[in-house]
């Protein structure tokens, strides 16, 4: 069992889903949460977290935190010496995800409302790791600029999962996935 498996065991998806779909928590596919958004397929989340290679004590930005599940998983991975900042555009999901995250008792992780028209959290940058759970048509330079010198970002772009690593913003491709659009 690796660190990602341990995070999944500590924070089961069921606790981050609306009551109406909790019985389907073990389904390995996306499930609706609210505001036209979804809780991502567990296998996809695990793949993304392994690519991200989160370490204890790191600062992590979770773009599109949704139900708070990925924020909680990231918080487990960084531990109490780290910091996770989830940003979410949908007010309903900021509340829902924030409540779900609070129930995990990981005060080093937060979810806040994303500023409309602003990607990520430029004011809090740089981040060691950035996880993006929504899909733009092109790699957003404004997120690349929020990466630390030796940072890593995992982001689905136009159907392809990308790993962006610094220094040099090197981009590699890691399979095909579908996500809700990044706004």
Neighbours of 134 (CB within 10 A): 19
Q: What's the CA gap between 31 and 41, in Å, rounded?
A: 8
The DSSP result for 145-158, as a single string, is TTEEEEEEEEEEET
Instruction: Assess contact for 90 and 114: CB atoms under 8 A.
Output: no
Q: What's the CA gap between 73 and 175, in Å, rounded?
A: 22
Q: Annotated catalytic, 172?
A: no
Q: Which 3 state secondary structure label does DSSP give 130?
A: strand
* Partners of 87 in the β-ladder: 63, 112
DSSP state of 168: T
- Residues contacting residue 95 through CB under 8 Å, at least 6 positions apart: none
- Residues contacting residue 118 through CB under 8 Å, at least 6 positions apart: none
Catalytic-labelled residue, pool 26, 39, 40, 67: 40
Which residue numbers are catalytic? 40
């Amino acid at each position: 069992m690796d660190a990602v498996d341990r995070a999944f065991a500590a924070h089961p998806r069921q606790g981050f889903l609306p009551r109406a779909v909790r019985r389907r928590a073990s389904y390995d596919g996306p499930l609706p949460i609210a505001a036209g958004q979804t809780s991502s397929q567990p296998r996809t989340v695990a793949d993304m977290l392994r690519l991200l290679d989160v370490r204890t004590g790191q600062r992590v930005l979770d773009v599109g935190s949704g139900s708070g599940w990925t924020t909680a998983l990231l918080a487990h991975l960084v531990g109490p010496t780290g910091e996770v900042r989830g940003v979410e555009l949908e007010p309903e999901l900021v509340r829902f995800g924030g409540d779900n995250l609070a129930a995990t008792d990981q005060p080093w992780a937060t979810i806040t409302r994303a500023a409309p028209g602003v990607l990520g959290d430029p004011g809090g940058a740089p981040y060691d790791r950035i996880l993006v759970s929504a899909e733009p048509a092109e790699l957003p330079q404004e997120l690349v600029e929020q990466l630390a010198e030796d940072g890593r970002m995992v982001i689905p772009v136009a159907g392809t999962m990308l790993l962006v690593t610094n220094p040099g913003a090197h981009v590699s491709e890691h399979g095909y996935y579908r996500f809700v659009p990044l706004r």
